[in-house]
Chain A
Amino acid sequence: MRALDKFWLAVLILLPVLALLVLPPFGQRMVILVGVYALMGVGYQLVFGQLGALNLAQGALFGVGAYTVALTAPTLGLLSLPVAILAAALPAAIVAGPILRLQSHYFALATLALASLIHLAAVHVESITGGANGLAGFTALLPRGPILLVIVWICLILTIVVQARLFAGPMGERARLLRQAPLVAATLGIDGGRWRLVAFVIGSALAGLAGGLSAAVSGVVSPEITGFPIMVLCLTSVVLGGARHPMGAVLGAAIAVCLPELLRDLQSAWLLAYAAATLLVVLWAPEGLATLIDRWRGVRPVPPVSPVVPAHLEAVDGPQRLTLDGVAKHFGGVAALQGVSFTLERGEVVGLIGANGSGKTTLLNVIGGLECADGGTIMLDERRINHLAPHAIARVGVGRSFQSLALTGDTRTADIAHAIETGASFLLLDEPAAGATDRERSDLASLIARLRAAGRGVLIIDHDIELLSRTCDRLICLDRGAVVAIGRPAEVRANPIVRASFLGVEEAAE
């Protein structure tokens, strides 16, 4: 997400000011509604836009906020708004723990089930919600008209400015990693579960606030406000406007509020047009209308910043020794790793060789916590780290690069640079030289030498045995998941078992 530039900030401030100065009450009411839906949308952008999780409870939580205000405003007045925030954030926080671990389609279903429960309660718990008739006549102590407009838009502008400021920096970069490559994010020490929890609860709180304000605008609350159509409206308006653009929610909400007025003769056909427009945007302009407007204004999209490895690497504090003892891993009946034991010291570079399928990448996954070992222990100094989550292992000092990445704008070295940047004491590099040119290989060799000089421990997989022999202090050869040789490169390469299993055909033919 880019920071909010002057153009959009001006739009954001001028719109309510002009509305107050020139629009009749009816027009002001529309501007208030735009603000209310935009507020819900901004909360939705956090979860859906930044983290890519399809939350289908936002509409129902909006309804929870509305009902809360309808119930508490007669006694609390304006203080019912904070209560609405709490009322929406609380159920979100309660269910968030278990359901945020779920993958995309299950998360969508779980939030849909939550939303359906809320809707059911709104219809059937008549003693509180008034059933199908809903609630009315609660606005005596609430602000109306221009004052409400000012309150709504101040909330909205503050939220947008804070969110745009936060996500324009390193936080936005981390969110992008979480969204596009959750495993990479985890190995860089980013706790995805915690991020989603915070985003989900804050997003729900904003839905509650928006819902409460909508109750103040309309003066009546009925079960439709918790229904699926509100959710669809929220989702489509955010997608239409731009899920990751600071102004996306405002633009989408403005269209959603104005379109029915423009197409008044066609009655409910406006929703048809709205849904069709959303489909077109998904297909041809997935970044949304706000980004299209930016392009038309000549504002270039920000390319993702790729970190580069600094010329001089600082020494880092942290654990001194990585020790594996009898590590085993089975996939069904296949032993991917069996009894793997070795130590890696700081300032040491160890190469991992072996035929395809011998367990090299699995070993890195097990050390990094992406796979859980079935047996044995992995220690950093005196601390046992197998059973820790990947992001926790990353934080205690084990970094990791991957074989191939589908990240936009990232290069081979960016991945390694990310890992180095975390200040990890130990780095696990998976085929960093695969597909590299000679020039890149020599750069890589010098990078490894610098890592050694900076006192980092490196465990590196590669098929380029010459490169490994030049750069590594020791080589470890895996065969069918077991260590068959370990020692100085020349020794390992001379080992008859290694020659048979890995170097294999060509040398045997000599």
Chain B
Amino acid sequence: MAYALVALGFVLALNAAGAVNFAHGDLVVLGGAAAVVIGLWTGLPGPLLLPFVALALGIAGIVAARVAILPLVARPPEATFVATIALAAMIEQGLTVTMDAAPRTAPPLLGTGAVEIAGITLGRQPIAIVVVGATLVVAMWFLLERTQVGRRMRAVSADRHMARAVGIPVARYVVLSLALAGALAGIAGFLLGHQFLVAPTQGAGHMLKAYIAVAIGGWGSVPGALLGALGIGLFETFVSAAVGDAWASAALYLAVLAVLVLRPQGLFGEPVGRRA
């Protein structure tokens, strides 16, 4: 479910920017780091920490949009790729310098330990991840499909020039999308940060999984990205349980290559059409 949040933010940023945001994975890590730092400073419990982390990363998303995405809209997508890769390296190195290399743990959202529901024992944190994830996904769906703001965001991603022609302030909506993407990344980083520790070098891995989810689900499709992310989560869980982590990752990469070669439009079709 946390992958779904990562992928959701990734696809929002992708649609708004018209190019891959390679810094997205590092925003996730930054979210985990923010949770660690704010948690240490304030000692706030998890649920109160959440809005602070979301806010901090929303701002980081705005900075990313202003620095590496908006100035490059008129250039080929490769320019944005390079700019966001540079940004990702800056975040990663910045974190390495400020935090020690030692991984940290983010505070839990609902306390640790397990609860028993209907005879099944479940960890508190996984439950929290699923609840928060599902809530945010529904909220994003409502925003995109049922509000004027969401309609305009979709208009900007479908056709930037047309959107500008009908009077939508495109730049503002790109920044807004990146802020939302950043906030989602931050929350995902916070949630993952308790289970899997926070280390500066994880960014590329998060980014790669979101990228894969979006490519498998259909480029630019929000439901496709969610399905892709859930698919990756299940795939990793079951395959690594069966054959171990390394083989699971290898199988995932091979599966991606196979999907790209055999069905380049994604498993569920590509809604935005060709983007050369």
Residues of A within 8 A of B (CB): 48, 52, 54, 95, 98-99, 101-106, 108-110, 112-114, 116-117, 120-121, 123-124, 182, 228, 232, 235-236, 239, 267-269, 271-272, 274-276, 278-279, 282-283, 286
Contact B264 A106 (CB under 8 A): yes
A-B contact pairs, 8 of them (CB 8 A): A98-B260, A109-B211, A113-B253, A232-B88, A235-B82, A236-B85, A279-B90, A283-B83
Rounded to whole angstroms, the CA-CA distance of A228 and B206 in the bound complex is 13
Given the complex of chains A and B, what is the CA–CA distance between A272 and B82 in angstroms?
15
Residue of A nearest to B71 (CB): A283
**Do B276 and A104 touch across chains, with their CB atoms under 8 A apart?**
yes
Per the 8 Å Cβ criterion, residues 54-79 of B in contact with A are 67-68, 71-72, 75-79
CA distance A282 to B89 in the complex (A): 14
A105→B257 contact, CB < 8 A = no
* B interface residues, how many (CB within 8 angstroms): 43
Q: Is there an interface contact between B246 and A124, defined as CB atoms closer than 8 Å?
A: yes
What are the residues of chain B within 8 A of A114 when measuring CB–CB? 253, 257
CA gap between A98 and B87 in the complex, in Å: 31
Q: Report whether B67 and A279 are in contact in the complex, using a CB–CB cutoff of 8 Å.
A: yes
A272–B211 CA distance with the chains assembled, in angstroms: 24
Is the CB–CB distance between A106 and B257 below 8 Å? no
Least CB separation from A277: chain B residue:
B86
- Binary CB contact string for chain B from 235 to 267 against chain A (1 if under 8 A, 0 otherwise): 000000000001001100110110011001000
Given A105-B20, A106-B260, A120 and B249 contact (CB-CB distance below 8 Å): yes
Question: Which 7 A-B pairs rank lowest in CB-CB distance, beginning with the nearest?
Answer: A275-B89, A272-B93, A98-B261, A279-B86, A278-B86, A113-B253, A124-B246
| B20 cross-chain contacts in A, Cβ below 8 A | 105, 108
- A99 and B249 in contact, given A52-B76, A108-B81, A282-B83 (Cβ under 8 angstroms): no
Is the CB–CB distance between A269 and B256 below 8 Å? no
Question: Which of B68, B87, B253, B276 has a CB less than 8 Å from the CB of A117?
Answer: B253
Residue from B77, B97, B211 in contact with A269 in the complex, judged by beta carbons closer than 8 Å? B97
CA–CA, A394 and B67, complex, Å: 43
Q: Are A105 and B246 in contact (CB under 8 A)?
A: no
Q: How far is the CB of A183 from chain B (nearest CB, A)?
A: 8
Q: A235's contact among B71, B85, B246, by CB below 8 Å, is which? A: B85
Chain B residues positioned under 8 Å from A95 (CB to CB): 257
Of the residues B87, B219, B256, contact of A279 by C-beta under 8 Å: B87
Q: Please, which residues of chain A bring their CB within 8 A of the CB of B257?
A: 95, 99, 110, 113-114
* B123 on interface, CB distance cutoff 8 Å: no
Q: From A95, which residue of chain B is reached at the shortest CB distance?
A: B257
- The A interface, classified by DSSP as helix, strand, loop or mixed, is helix
Q: Is the CB of A102 within 8 A of B276?
A: no
A272 and B204: CB pair below 8 A? Answer: no
Q: How far is the CB of A391 from chain B (nearest CB, A)?
A: 16
**A99 CA to B258 CA in the complex, in Å?**
10
Closest CB-CB distance, B208 to chain A, in whole Å? Answer: 6
Q: How far is the CB of A181 from chain B (nearest CB, A)?
A: 10
Q: Which chain A residue lies CB-closest to B244?
A: A124
Q: Is B274 an interface residue (CB 8 A)?
A: yes
Known: A117-B253, A182-B276. A282 touches B93 (CB 8 A): no
**Contacting residue for B208 out of A106, A116, A276, CB 8 A:** A116
Chain B residues whose CB sits within 8 angstroms of the CB of A232 once the complex forms: 85, 88-89
Give chain A residues whose Cβ lies under 8 Å from the Cβ of B174.
none
Establish whether residues B76 and A105, one from each chain, have CB atoms under 8 Å apart when the complex forms. no
Closest to A271 in B: B93
Given contacts A109-B260, A269-B97, A282-B82, contact A276 B90 (CB under 8 A): yes
> Which chain B residues border A272 with CB–CB below 8 Å?
89-90, 93-94, 97
Residues of B near A182 (CB, < 8 A) are 276
With A99-B261, A275-B87 as contacts: A282 and B253 at CB distance below 8 Å:
no
Expressed in whole angstroms, the Cα–Cα distance for A110 and B253 within the complex equals 9
B69 → chain A, closest Cβ, in Å? 11
Assess the B253–A278 pair: CB atoms within 8 A. no
Contact B253 A102 (CB under 8 A): no
For A105, give its contact among B19, B79, B82, B249 (CB under 8 Å): B19
Q: Which residue of A lies closest to B215 (CB)?
A: A109
* Dominant secondary structure of chain B at its interface with chain A: helix
> Which of B67, B76, B85, B87 has the most chain A CB atoms closer than 10 A to its own CB?
B85
Enumerate chain B residues within 8 angstroms of A275, measured Cβ to Cβ: 86-87, 89-90, 93
User: In the assembled complex, which residues on chain A have CB atoms less than 8 Å from the CB atom of B183?
Assistant: none
| Most chain B C-beta atoms within 10 Å of own C-beta, residue among A108, A182, A228 | A228
Name B253's closest neighbour in chain A (CB-CB): A113
Tell me whether A269 and B254 are in contact (CB under 8 A).
no
Shortest CB-to-CB span from A94 to chain B, Å, is 11
The yes or no answer to B187 lying at the interface (CB within 8 A) is no
Write the chain B residue with the least CB distance to A238.
B82
Q: Which of A109, A274, A278 has the most CB of B within 10 A?
A: A109
Shortest B73–chain A CB gap in Å is 12
Among residues of B, the one whose C-beta sits closest to the C-beta of A117 is B253
B146 at the interface (CB under 8 A from A): no
Chain B residues with CB below 8 A from A271, complex form: 89, 93
> How far, in angstroms, from A425 to B19 measured CA to CA in the complex?
40
**Which residue of A is nearest B79, CB measured?**
A282
A105 touches B77 (CB 8 A): yes
Q: A117-B254, A235-B82, A276-B86 are in contact. List 5 more A-B contacts (CB 8 A).
A: A102-B264, A103-B275, A113-B254, A120-B250, A283-B83
Query: B256 near A120 (CB under 8 angstroms)?
Result: no
Asked if residues B86 and A282 are in contact (CB atoms below 8 Å), the reply is: yes
B260 in complex: contacting residue of A102, A235, A269, A279, CB < 8 Å? A102
Contacts of A278 in B (CB 8 A): 82, 86, 89
Chain B residues with Cβ below 8 Å from A274 are: 89
Q: Is B212 at the interface (CB under 8 A from chain A)?
A: yes
Docked complex Cα distance between A110 and B81 (Å): 15
Query: Per-residue 0/1 for B90-132: is the Cβ within 8 Å of any A Cβ (1 yes, 0 no)?
Result: 1001101100000000000000000000000000000000000
Chain A residues closer than 8 Å to B93, beta-carbon distance: 268-269, 271-272, 275
B87 → chain A closest CB, angstroms? 6
CA distance A314 to B53 in the complex (A): 71
Point out the residues of chain B lying under 8 angstroms from A267, CB to CB.
97
With CB as the reference atom, state the residue of chain B lying closest to A118: B253
Checking A48, A106, A228, A268 against B215 with a beta-carbon cut-off of 8 angstroms, the contacting residue is A106
User: Nearest CB to that of A232 among chain B residues?
Assistant: B89
> Which one of B76, B246, B261 lies within 8 Å of A123 (CB-CB)?
B246
Q: Which residues of B contact A110 (CB under 8 A)?
A: 256-257, 260-261
Q: Select which of A52, A99, A283 is within 8 A of B78 by beta carbon.
A: A52
A98 to B82, CA, bound (A): 24
Q: Which of B143-199 contact A (CB under 8 A)?
A: none
Closest Cβ neighbor of B265 among chain A residues = A106
